[in-house]
Structure 1
Amino acid sequence: MTRILLFVLLVLVLGAGFTWLADRPGDLIVTFAGMRYELTLMAAASALVAIIAAVMLAWWLIKSIIRSPDLLRRHFRARKRDRGYQSLSTGLIAAGAGDSATARRMAGQAHKLLNVDQEPLIRLLEAQSAMLEGRVDEARGAFEAMLNDPETRLLGLRGLYLEAQRAGEHEAAQHYAGEASLMAPHVDWARGAVLGRLTVEGDWDGALKLLDARKATRAADKAAIKQERAALLTAKAISTFDSDPVTAKTVALEAHKLAPDLIPAAVIAARAYFREGDLRKGAKILEAAWKKNPHPEIAQVYIHARPGDSALDRLKRARHLFALRANNPEASLALAQAALDAGNYKLARENAEAVLRMSPRESAYLLLADIEEAQTGDQGRVRQWLARAVKAPRDPAWTADGYVSEQWAPVSPLTGRLNAFEWKVPVEQLAPMIEAGQEVRGDESETLNAPAVIEQKPLVVPVEEEEIPAPARLKPPKREPANDTRDDEEVKMLVVDDPGVLPEEQTETKQARYRLF
């Protein structure tokens, strides 16, 4: 477009010049070699323009003749390159479609028409065609050849990693993934493989260094890295809680600061405070986390806050949690459990039945079986609650990629994905357990209908099944007598200022409950 405008502009200038000369007639006299030449200005200008055009045309012809061999070579080279790229494109499409014969033929044509050193995709096509035909050694050789070129080194490591995994050579696969993660920390497949190995080995510092290296790249998602770092710090705090409580506290507080919504981070940070005797700060962390997301682990640590407390003291803390998030299934379930431990069977039954009205679940029926055993000892009613627990929807659990675990973990054991565990019901509830508006009472349990729930099996349940003891062999557990002289209203809104963590040796001696899985 610019050349066209310049040409038009030149024509306009020449036209204006000739017009100007035509309006001003004159003669031009030239004496050369004893000869005198006389001509008009218009003829002289026309002759000058013609001479210039003839010189330019002659120069173009001479230059074209001189450059013609090179132009021919470039033309044939371009045709050859175009044919090579067409063969390469057709071969890659055939390899993606699984046509090994076409892919092999196109790879040979591309290898003849193109320079392998200048076009690394030829090696990729050769490797893919070899993989389709089962020629593992040739495919591995092609990937190893890619390691010599900086542009294809990462691609070669990826191919060797996949081949090593397919052959079951896990150490070699980890070696290739480690080199790829050092070269490109933002690549998910390499980072995930290395993080999976480091977490299995418990090398939390190495995993954090790898995460920091990824953070330095521009393509990194800062929010996702913050969550992943919080998960790794939480895992490190949990693993070092018994051996190095001071470091565990520092790491846990950092993790809780990065991800206040991460339940395990809040729990381990509070336990670290409780272990040092700073019960008020630990309770504050748990209460803040409980207000955002009520969770049974928070309730367990909060209620069993101080070692040596009586069942009534634990009931006070459960009441306080219930006051923070009333009409919540987790709050009602925690209060019912604490009331059962304290021997307040009426309060325990009311809250367990409230859980059934809000969110029917297996643990609520098992808890009602415990209450029935402790309060009446009626084995028939106990068996009835246990039978309903079998068909009830499962309780929420830590789930990652279909894997169900009772304990939180920083990475998925199936895919190695970091921060993959979520607290949710493993099996989707397809129908309501109890009709809306139906009131559940312990003395009218025979009016309950069987739960209309379609049973589904989880993908993986990494918990050993325990045999349910026969009801005839069960003995009513000993309970602490409820203090009838104390008014419930006096302890309803107790302000908790000294929670702590029940030591592991005391939690192990806690009375066993009914459980199905």
Structure 2
Amino acid sequence: MIRTILILLGITILIAVAFGLAGDAGQASLIWFNYRIDTSAAAAVCILGFLALCAVCFWNLALWLSRSPQRAERARAETRRRQGEEVLTRGFMAVAAGDGAEARRNAAKALDLSDNVLLVRVLTAMSAEVSGDATATRAAYTAMLNVPELKLAGLKGLVQLAQSQADRAEAVKLAGEAYNQPRPAMWAFETLFEARLEAGEWSEALSLIDGALTRKLISPIFSERAKASLMAASAAALEETDETQALDYAVRAAKLQPQFTPAAIIASRLLLKTGKPGRAEDVLEAAWAAAPHPALWLAYRDLVSDETPRERARRLQGLLDRNDSHRESRILRVEQAVLGAGKADIAAAMTALEPDTADDIVTKRVCAAMARGSQGLQDLDAARTWVAQAALARSEPEWSDIDAEGRAFAYGAQDWSNLILTFAGKAVLPHPRFERGEKGLPELPELASRYVPSMPFIKAARSQPHAVPQPDDPGAFDAAITGQDLDAEEPAEALPKRKPVRRARAPKAVK
């Protein structure tokens, strides 16, 4: 309105100025109800402009008055909207702060003040959940199922409620309903996937992975890792009942993800059973190239049993050549050199392993390898020193994957479930036996704990406490000097009997 008045006023002034500059613009006459008005043309234009301005002002005033009810209604609606937003904001802040009572008060106010039905229902459900009212929470999330935009949110809330109440069957049922929606959420897949793993349903989990990949819920790399670990778990479960199917699963898993060591171990074991040691060797070499693991070289070592130590050392070179720079290869090279019994090779392998003996990174297995190398060099003092240092070093989680009987990855369903989840998500192997502190294969070599010359005297003291050898009559203990078979335990009867030595008597006093 103000803009219109200013425009009309400006036009009128411009016309008046134009007439004034033009000189005598003439006369203007107006006859109105027998009245005649004569004036100059410039004055007439000014009068007309003023009358037009008055007419515009009157018209706008009339419009403003006629629209005042609508303006008042809009103002009330804006005030209510602003109040509703404030209540919703305070409610969600209370939920975030964990104040259930405050959240529920604001949710009740939002029902009257806010027109945003979706947010009001979400706040109502969340406030009931925070306050710990399971009945109200279930009712609120159930009501959300009737709104298409809120159905997934309602199903998620009901799944979480069922999980908190340890109702796994209900949680899986609701997650399945959410997964079958046109646009499923990732949480629905994760809930179903974890439920399949915990139940040991490997085949169902494989089908779920295929469907999730088709629906683009998971990435191709996640799918590959999950499939490989699931097929390995299936092979482990079928190894005793269906060897053919187990072999197929294990070989496919090892080919799909060579860095998944359990698949390679199971595949090599089954291939060896079926008389295919060459293929087993290829599988283990491919796994070593991807991710060396101590279980791999132990399985590779045991592929052939009728060979000499030197032949075995030469065969182990095939594994080393696949990943020569890895730390596991440096440890294995010491073992290979000890088998070959070449002192120069042993010394070179120990030198290559020295960077791994630093105090901040040394492990029991590294100390054990250095002890074996020292033993191969016939340096027993150094070997004992390394064994003593191993007592202060940390164990390696990878070594715990091998149990006390030498079986690698002999896991139950729960361990396989954790293994699959961790490897599929992070591409790393967990070590459940290490976390539980279970015993595995010994890490340290067996060495004599005492020096040789002292052994027969200690054993004699244990077996015949009254037959301590005399310095001038060593008797059967001459072996201590010559170094003969001193570590073998001998029964007391086997020791030669000696006459007791009489002590000299003091002379009697003369009376």
Question: TM-score per shorter chain, which class?
Answer: 0.5 to 0.7
- Which amino acid in the other structure matches residue 428 of structure 2? E
2:140 to 142, 147, 169: 142
Tell me which residue corresponds to 2:435.
Answer: 461
Deviates most, 337-346 or 66-75: 337-346
> Which stretches in structure 2 are left out of the alignment for 5+ residues?
236-243, 401-407, 449-511
- Which amino acid in the other structure matches residue 394 of structure 2? P
**What value does the CA root-mean-square deviation take over the aligned residues?**
5.2
Contact 1:192 1:417 survives alignment (8 Å): no
Tell me which residue corresponds to 1:191.
Answer: 189
What are the superposed Cα offsets for residues 42-88 of structure 1, whole Å, 9 maximum, x if unpaired? 34433443344333333323333332222222222322232232222
Distance in 2 (CA, whole Å) between partners of 1:398 and 1:147 is 51
Tell me which residue corresponds to 2:62.
Answer: 62
Tell me how far 1:169 sits from its aligned partner.
1.2
Distance in 1 (CA, whole Å) between partners of 2:100 and 2:323 is 63
- TM-score, structure 1 normalization: 0.62
Contact 2:250 2:263 survives alignment (8 Å): no
Q: For 1:215-234, what aligned pairs fall within 5 Å after superposition?
A: 215=217, 225-234=219-228
Contact 2:301 2:312 survives alignment (8 Å): yes
Distance in 2 (CA, whole Å) between partners of 1:112 and 1:388 is 74
Tell me how far 1:231 sits from its aligned partner.
0.6
SS in 2 for 1:151: helix
Distance in 2 (CA, whole Å) between partners of 1:344 and 1:295 is 25
Deviates most, 460-469 or 387-396: 460-469
Tell me which residue corresponds to 2:363.
Answer: 361
Distance in 2 (CA, whole Å) between partners of 1:470 and 1:423 is 24
SS in 2 for 1:128: helix
Tell me how far 1:168 sits from its aligned partner.
0.9
Tell me how far 1:301 sits from its aligned partner.
6.2
| Aligned residue-pair number | 418
Q: 1:168 to 1:19 in 2, by over 3 A?
A: same
Contact 1:208 1:232 survives alignment (8 Å): no
Tell me which residue corresponds to 1:212.
Answer: 214
Deviates most, 406-415 or 126-135: 406-415
Q: 1:10 to 1:319 in 2, by over 3 A?
A: farther
In terms of fraction of residues, the more helix-rich structure is: 2
Q: 1:26 to 1:132 in 2, by over 3 A?
A: same
Tell me how far 1:330 sits from its aligned partner.
0.9
- Which amino acid in the other structure matches residue 123 of structure 1? R
* Percent identity of equivalent pairs: 21
Contact 2:233 2:416 survives alignment (8 Å): no
Please tell me whether Structure 1 or Structure 2 has the larger radius of gyration of its CA atoms: 2
Tell me which residue corresponds to 2:314.
Answer: 316
Q: 1:175 to 1:250 in 2, by over 3 A?
A: same
Specify which structure has the bigger relative contact order, considering alpha-carbon pairs within 8 angstroms and separated by 6 or more residues.
Answer: 1
- Which amino acid in the other structure matches residue 365 of structure 2? S
Contact 1:398 1:422 survives alignment (8 Å): no
What are the superposed Cα offsets for residues 102-136 of structure 1, whole Å, 9 maximum, x if unpaired? 22322222223234xx3333333333333343321
1:19 to 9, 12, 17: 17
Q: 1:410 to 1:66 in 2, by over 3 A?
A: farther
Distance in 1 (CA, whole Å) between partners of 2:58 and 2:295 is 92
Contact 2:175 2:192 survives alignment (8 Å): yes
Q: For 1:379-418, what aligned pairs fall within 5 Å after superposition?
A: 388-397=389-398, 412=418, 418=424
Tell me how far 1:243 sits from its aligned partner.
0.9
- Which amino acid in the other structure matches residue 316 of structure 2? A
Contact 2:100 2:130 survives alignment (8 Å): yes
Distance in 2 (CA, whole Å) between partners of 1:470 and 1:27 is 126
Q: 1:239 to 1:296 in 2, by over 3 A?
A: same
Q: 1:309 to 1:47 in 2, by over 3 A?
A: farther
- Which amino acid in the other structure matches residue 90 of structure 2? T
Q: 1:23 to 1:182 in 2, by over 3 A?
A: farther
Q: 1:264 to 1:323 in 2, by over 3 A?
A: closer
Q: 1:354 to 1:392 in 2, by over 3 A?
A: farther
Distance in 2 (CA, whole Å) between partners of 1:353 and 1:75 is 86
Distance in 2 (CA, whole Å) between partners of 1:421 and 1:367 is 28
Deviates most, 204-213 or 35-44: 35-44
Q: For 1:2-81, what aligned pairs fall within 5 Å after superposition?
A: 15-24=13-22, 25-28=25-28, 39-81=39-81
- Which amino acid in the other structure matches residue 336 of structure 1? V
- Which amino acid in the other structure matches residue 208 of structure 1? D
